[in-house]
Amino acid sequence: MVSCVFEGIDVKIYTKTGDKGTTGLLYGGRVSKNSSQVELNGAVDEAQAHLGVVRAHATSELAAICRSLELDLWILMAEVATQANKRDHLKPGTTLVTLAMVTHLEELIDEISLRFDAPKEFVVPGEEPTAAFLDVARTVVRRAERQSVAFVEEVPDSLVQIYLNRLSDLLWTLARWSEGVSLTARGALDA
């Protein structure tokens, strides 16, 4: 048995509450572990882990960007893990994705894009390890974005899908910046 102590309270790592195929939501309620909310949060959790791999291998600037993105994804996952009828509990920028968070991604894309010449063709990932890790994170974020469609249909005022769309664009931009010179599909065919 593994346990943790939080503020003097012994908390076990296992709770057994999910043994019957359900999981608890942030402000109460339970859903099946194969619900669209849980599937979406699973993909976001996976993307966050990939960003951790990038951060572990990155320069200090890129590591700081990835750490900030990882923290943003906690906010996004909190929003997704909340039932529609409990959204009034969400706090912008803490448990609710905001327009400012989306705008920040756009600003980063614009800033980083000025540092390299963007390829004008499809890119073959793998020219440099950190860039390859970023491309893996990008594809997982794209999957999360596809999975967010069902969530946004139920919560049309949510910015989750827009945030994920911008995040995948940012990760592509960071990967191209990180590798410096990209191998394009046409270049790979010509070689």
CA 28 to CA 164: how far, in whole Å?
A: 25
Reported residue count of the chain is: 191
User: What residues does each domain of the chain span?
Assistant: 27-190
CA 170 to CA 19: how far, in whole Å?
A: 38
pLDDT confidence band for 189 (50 / 70 / 90): low
Please say whether the dihedral angle defined by the alpha carbons of residues 174, 128, 68 and 60, taken in this order, is positive or negative.
Answer: negative
**Which tens digits make up the pLDDT trace of 100-131?**
999 999 999 999 999 999 888 898 898 899 99
**Which tens digits make up the pLDDT trace of 137-164?**
999 999 999 999 999 999 999 999 999 9
- According to CATH, the topology of domain 27-190 is Hypothetical Protein Ta1238; Chain: A; (1.20.1200)
What predicted TM-score, i.e. pTM, was given to this entire model? Answer: 0.88
**Which tens digits make up the pLDDT trace of 57-96?**
998 999 999 999 999 999 999 999 999 999 999 999 999 9
